[in-house]
Amino acid sequence: MTDKSKVVSIDGIKVACANCSLATLCLPYGLDAPDIERLESIIKRNKPIQRGHVIFAPGDRFRSLYVIKTGSVKTYTQTASGDEHVIGFHLPGELLGLDAIQDDAHGCFAKALETTALCELPFDKLEQLSTSIPSLQHQMLRLLSKEVSAEANMISLLNNSTAEERLASFLVGLSERFRRRGFSPTDFFLAMSRQDIGSYLGLALETVSRLFTRFQEHGILEVDRKHVKIRDFDRLKHMLKHHTACHSTLGQSS
Amino acid sequence: MTDKSKVVSIDGIKVACANCSLATLCLPYGLDAPDIERLESIIKRNKPIQRGHVIFAPGDRFRSLYVIKTGSVKTYTQTASGDEHVIGFHLPGELLGLDAIQDDAHGCFAKALETTALCELPFDKLEQLSTSIPSLQHQMLRLLSKEVSAEANMISLLNNSTAEERLASFLVGLSERFRRRGFSPTDFFLAMSRQDIGSYLGLALETVSRLFTRFQEHGILEVDRKHVKIRDFDRLKHMLKHHTACHSTLGQSS
DNA sequence: ACCTCGATTTGATCCAGATCAAAGACGCCA
DNA sequence: TGGCGTCTTTGATCTGGATCAAATCGAGGT
C-alpha cells in the first residue's frame, strides 16, 4: 500500500469510537463527544492480526487492555503437558486483559480465532483519564463488574448443569451476543473447534459433537460443520434452568 | 448498653482503618493517612450481625459494598425449587457485592455464617472519592481484577479437576487466606456445612464427607466435625495441578 | 484429481461421583 | 435427662459423560 492509502486509513480511524457500532457495549458508553475524543486520543490501532496470532501470553507484562473491533479471540491457559484449557471466547466490543490489572502481568494466552482488529488501550493512560472523566471511571467499574457476574454465571453453569444444558447455554449466550452486535442471532459461524467448545464447557469434544448431532435430530439446530442455524430457539432456551447467579470473592483470592 | 458505651465504641471505630490489621488486603491499601481518613469518613459501621442474617438478596437495590471486618459470609443463589448454589465464602478484608455494580441490583444472597461485623461503603460516595484519590481508584480496579482472576481459577478448577483436587484446592486456598489474616494456616474451623462446601465445589455432600474421611485416613488431615488440622500440607499441595488460570470476558456477558 | 493431516463423527466400554438409603452423632431446648 | 431435628458418616447401586478406538470428512497443497 502507498502512503496515500495509509493516510486514508488513519483518517478513517480518527473518528472510530464516535461512529463505531459497538460504542454502547464498549468503553465510550455514557461519555459525551469531547470525552470520547479524549479517549480516542490514547487508543493505539495496530493493523489487523491473522488467525492464530497470539496477542499476549502468560507472564507478559501488563501494559494495555484490548477491545476487539472485528473478529474473535479465545483466551486459554496451557498445562505443563501442553493441553489447553479454554477460558473464554471474545467478540467485538469485549475487553481483553481485565484479569491482568491485578498483578501487572497476564495470566493466560489470548489468540485470534480469525482475522481480528483490536483497539489497544494503554492502561496507565486509561487510568489517568478515568480520574478526570467520572463516567469513564464508572464504565470501567461496570465492565469489570459485568465480567465478575458473567464468570459467576459460568461457575454456576459448570456446577449445576448437564452437558446438554451447558451447550444450550453456550449457544443461547452466543446468539444473544451476536444479536447485540447486529449479526443474525439464529444463523452464525462458530470460529472455534469442537475441542475448544468442549474445553470451555468442561466436556469432552466427543460429547460436544454428539450433542450437536442430537440437537439436529431433534430439529433444534441445523448444523453444517462450523455453520449453525437455530431452528427452535424456544426449545433451546427451555433447556436452561434459570441461573440468575451472582457472585463475589470466591476462594483462592486475596 | 448506655450512651457512654456507645461513645466509646464510636470512638474506637473512628480510627478503625488506620489500625485495622486488614488494611493491606482491603481498600485502604496504598493510601496515605489523610486519604484513609477521607475514606473512613464515608464508612458506615453497623452493629455486628448474627449467624443466619441476610445482608442482601437478589433484586435488592445496590447501594453499598461491604467489607467483612470479622466473621464470615457465604454468597449463594437459590433455584425456584429452593435449593441453594453456593458461589463463594468470604473472610475478613474481602469485599461483598462487586458483581452488583454492573446493573445496580444484587444478584445473589449474602448470609453471615457466624457473628459478623461489616464495614458498609456507600458506592456513590466511594466512586466520587475515587475520582479525587487516584490510588483509591487504582485499588478498586485491582480488587475487581483480582475477583475476575479468582473466578477464572475457580472455573479452571471446576472444568479440569477431580473431587479430590477440588477439596485439596479449597483447603489450601482457605489455609492461605487464614494465614494472611494472622490466623493459623493449619488449624482452623470451617464455618460452613459439608453441604455448602459440596455446593461450592460442585460435589455431592456425601462426596465431601468421604473425602474428609479419606484425607484423614491418609494422615493428611485431622478432622473433627468442623475443626480441621492440616497434618501434611505438602501432600495437600501436591494434589493440585498447577492451575495458573487467568482470563477475561467469557460468554453470557455483554 | 489425488494425497495428507487435522477435525469431526460415531460406536463400545468404563468409571468417578451422583443418588438412594439408613444409621449414627451432635446440639438445643423443654 | 431425654427427645427432636439437623448435620454427618457410611454403605450400595446407578449413570452421564469420559475414554478408547475407528471410520469419515474436508481443506489445502502439489
- Model confidence pLDDT, tens digit, residues B171-204: 999 999 999 999 999 999 999 999 999 999 999 9
Cβ pair B97:A248 closer than 8 A: yes
The cell for A252 is 483462592
Spatial neighbors of A169 by CB under 8 A, at least 6 apart, are A157, A161, A239, A240, A243, B251, B252
User: For residue B84, is it left (φ>0), alpha (ψ between -120 and 50) or beta?
Assistant: beta
Rounded to a whole number of angstroms, the CA Rg of chain B reads 19
Query: Which H helix or E strand runs over A118?
Result: strand A117-122
pLDDT per residue as tens digits for the range B3-23: 444 344 444 445 578 888 888
Q: For residue B202, what are the CA distances in angstroms to A159, B194, B221, B236?
A: 5, 12, 21, 19
Rounded to a whole number of angstroms, the CA Rg of chain A reads 19
The whole-number average pLDDT for the span B229-250 is 76
Cβ pair B155:A151 closer than 8 A: yes
User: For residue B114, is it left (φ>0), alpha (ψ between -120 and 50) or beta?
Assistant: beta
pLDDT at residue A252, as a whole number: 42
Cβ pair A158:B131 closer than 8 A: no
Query: Which H helix or E strand runs over B195?
Result: helix B194-201
| One-letter amino acid for residue B242 of the chain | H
Which residue is closest to C7 in terms of CA–C1' distance?
A: A193
Within 13 A of A200's CA, how many CA atoms are on the CB side?
26
User: For residue B182, is it left (φ>0), alpha (ψ between -120 and 50) or beta?
Assistant: left
How many residues are listed for chain B in this entry? 254
How large is the angle between the packed helices B33-42 and B123-132, nearest 10 degrees? 160
Q: What is the pLDDT along chain A (254 residues), one digit of tens a residue?
A: 444 444 444 444 455 788 888 888 889 998 898 999 999 999 998 889 999 999 999 999 999 999 999 999 999 999 888 889 999 999 999 999 999 999 999 999 999 999 999 999 999 999 999 999 999 999 999 999 999 999 999 999 999 999 999 999 999 999 999 999 999 999 999 999 999 999 999 999 999 999 999 999 999 999 999 999 999 999 999 999 764 444 445 444 45
Within 13 A of B215's CA, how many CA atoms are on the CB side?
30
A56 pairs with which residues across the strands? A110
pLDDT at residue B20, as a whole number: 83
Distance CA A13, CA A165 (A): 42
Tell me which chain A residues have a C-beta less than 8 angstroms from the C-beta of B161: none
Distance CA B132, CA A119 (A): 28
pLDDT per residue as tens digits for the range B92-125: 999 999 999 999 999 999 999 999 999 999 999 9
Distance CA B103, CA B83 (A): 25
User: How would DSSP label each residue in A181-206?
Assistant: TTS-SSEEE--S-HHHHHHHHT--HH
- Tell me, rounded to whole angstroms, the distance of Cα B14 from its chain centroid: 24
Out of A87, A131, A155, closest to residue B137 by CB: A131
Tell me which chain B residues have a C-beta less than 8 angstroms from the C-beta of A90: 248-249
Between A3-17, B34-48, B152-166, the lowest mean confidence (pLDDT) is in: A3-17
Say whether the CB atom of B193 is under 7 angstroms from strand C: no
Nearest CA in chain A to B131: A131
Q: Model-level pTM?
A: 0.89
Query: Which H helix or E strand runs over B210?
Result: helix B205-217
pLDDT at residue A235, as a whole number: 95
pLDDT at residue A109, as a whole number: 96
Cβ pair A146:B96 closer than 8 A: no
Task: Using a 7 A cutoff on CB, list residues near strand D.
Answer: A 162-164, 202-204, 206-207, 225; B 193-195, 205-206, 208-210, 212-213, 223, 225-226
Tell me which chain B residues have a C-beta less than 8 angstroms from the C-beta of A128: 134
Out of B95, B107, B202, closest to residue A245 by CB: B107
Running DSSP on this structure, what letter comes out for residue A91? Answer: -
pLDDT at residue B15, as a whole number: 54
Is-contact A243 B83, C-beta < 8 A?
Answer: no
Whether the per-residue pLDDT at B44 is higher than 80: the answer is yes
Is-contact A27 A67, C-beta < 8 A?
Answer: yes
Q: How far is A244 from chain B (nearest CA, A)?
A: 7
Q: How far is B3 from chain A (nearest CA, A)?
A: 37
